[in-house]
Amino acid sequence: MTEQNILLAFILTAIAGLSTGIGSLIALIAKHTNTKFLCASLGFSAGIMLYVSFMEMMPQGKLELVSVYGEKMGTLYLILAFFAGIALINMIDFAIPKSLNPHEIQGVEDMDKKRSLKRTGIVVALSIAIHNFPEGIATFTSALGSLDVAIPITIAIAIHNIPEGIAVAVPIYHATGSRKKAFWLSFASGLAEPFGALIAYFFLMQFWTPAMNGIILAAVSGIMVFISLDELLPSAEKYGKHHISIMGLVAGMLVMAFSLYLFV
């Protein structure tokens, strides 16, 4: 693994994480949420994540693990790592109250509701950081592979983080009464992802082996599948745009399939 690959992984992770700032700008400028576009984008992101998880990362992870542990044990470790990734992100979701959970998507128009949060924006920002931290590790480790997988995953995470940026800015605005603070704290929350990449670099890279790579690929697949099924698609459903989100899902899978095909 070259220094150029590691630098590129950091850059892609930063792009994905800081896209929360785009959501923050939308929260500051827009008066209403474009539900059709948002639903299609959420579905598109979910399609990319699901397809690359099951069609690229899991098979590659199995190949790595089987080469080290054999067919039987390698497959078992793949399964355990996959569900461990799901368990990790699920526990984080469970630990954070719904009112502070950045994965509970809100619309821009919610900014106009006259209510306040008892907890401060700092508490909200901390919750965001906890949530985005494993996503940073997932993006970074995924980006360590080939570009045909890294770039689509970065795009998917970035799309996913835009509505999350809106959801982050809304409660912070209600807590502080300041739109500027809502923007900057929401933007800064995206730094949790490159910070996760740094942790992955300093603590995982020294143990990086084919077996570790296989386990990480399976665990990241679990995280991405959970985000897709627990957050992205249900969030699209809340806007009542079921068919649009499914068309976005299929489009995401199609784009991912042909992008991988081009590198065969």
Enter the tokens of residue 145: 């592979």
What is the distance between the alpha carbons of residues 181 and 120, in angstroms, rounded to a whole number?
12
Radius of gyration of the chain from Cα atoms? 18
Enter the tokens of residue 76: 């078992």
Measuring CA to CA, which residue among 126, 127, 75, 120 is closest to residue 101? 127
Q: 18: how many CB neighbours lie within 10 A of its CB?
A: 19
Q: What is the three-class DSSP state of 96?
A: coil
What is the distance between the alpha carbons of residues 27 and 1, in angstroms, rounded to a whole number?
40
Specify the residue for token string 């700032």: 21
Does residue 243 have a known ligand-binding role?
no
How far is CA 21 from each of CA 14, 162, 176, rounded to the nearest angstrom? 12, 7, 18
Enter the tokens of residue 113: 């509701």
Does residue 237 have a known ligand-binding role?
no
Does residue 3 have a known ligand-binding role?
no
Helix 192-204 vs helix 3-18: crossing angle, to nearest 10: 150
Annotate 136-190 with DSSP letters as a single string.
HHHHHHHHTS-HHHHHHHHHHHHHHHHHHHHHHHHHHHHHHS-HHHHHHHHHHHT
Does residue 135 have a known ligand-binding role?
yes
Does residue 193 have a known ligand-binding role?
yes
DSSP class of residue 240 equals T
Does residue 32 have a known ligand-binding role?
no
Residues annotated as binding site for Zn(2+)? 135, 160, 164
Residues annotated as binding site? 132, 135, 160-161, 164, 193
Residues annotated as binding site for Fe(2+)? 132, 135, 161, 164, 193
